[in-house]
Chains A and B, each alone.
Chain A
Amino acid sequence: MPAFHAHVEVTHLPGIADPAGATVERALPALGYTNVSQVHIGKTIGLIVDAADADAARAQVLEMCERLLANPVIEAYEVTIAALEPQA
Chain B
Amino acid sequence: MSARVGVVLFPGTNCELDVVYAIEQLGGSAEILWHGDNTTKGVDAVVVPGGFAHGDYLRTGAIARFSPVMGAVADFAASGGPVVGICNGFQVLCEANLLPGALQKNAGLKFLCETVELRVETTRSVLTGDARVGDVLRVPINHFEGNYVCDERTLAALRSDDRVVVRYVENPNGSLDDIAGICNGTRNVVGLMPHPERASDPIIGSGDGVVLLESLLHAATRGAKLPA
Contacts and interface: CB of A to CB of B under 8 A. Distances in A.
A17 B105 CA distance: 7
Nearest to A73: B102
B58 A73 contact: no
B174 to A, nearest CB: 7
Secondary structure class of chain B's binding surface, majority of residues:
loop
A41 B154 CA distance: 27
A23 interface: yes
B115 interface: no
Secondary structure class of chain A's binding surface, majority of residues:
mixed
Given A68-B58, A68-B62, A73 B101 contact: yes
Contact of B104 (A22, A23, A74): A74
A19 interface: yes
B26 interface: no
B58 A74 contact: no
Contact of A74 (B66, B106, B109, B149): B149
Interface string A7-22: 0000010001101001
B48 to A, nearest CB: 17
Interface string A47-88: 000000000000000000000110101100000000000000
Contacts of B95: 71
B138 interface: no
A17 B58 contact: no
Contact of B109 (A12, A16, A23): A23
Contacts of B104: 12, 16-17, 74
B174 A17 contact: yes
B147 interface: yes
A85 B151 CA distance: 43
Contacts of B149: 16, 73-74
Nearest to A70: B59
Given A17-B104, A17-B107, A71 B59 contact: yes
19 contacts: A12-B104, A16-B104, A16-B149, A17-B105, A17-B106, A17-B109, A17-B147, A19-B105, A22-B109, A68-B62, A71-B59, A71-B95, A73-B94, A73-B102, A73-B149, A73-B150, A73-B151, A74-B102, A74-B104
Interface of A: 12, 16-17, 19, 22-23, 68-69, 71, 73-74
Given A16-B149, A19-B105, A71-B62, 20 more contacts: A12-B104, A16-B104, A17-B104, A17-B106, A17-B107, A17-B109, A17-B147, A19-B109, A22-B109, A23-B109, A68-B58, A68-B66, A69-B58, A71-B95, A73-B101, A73-B102, A73-B149, A73-B150, A73-B151, A74-B104
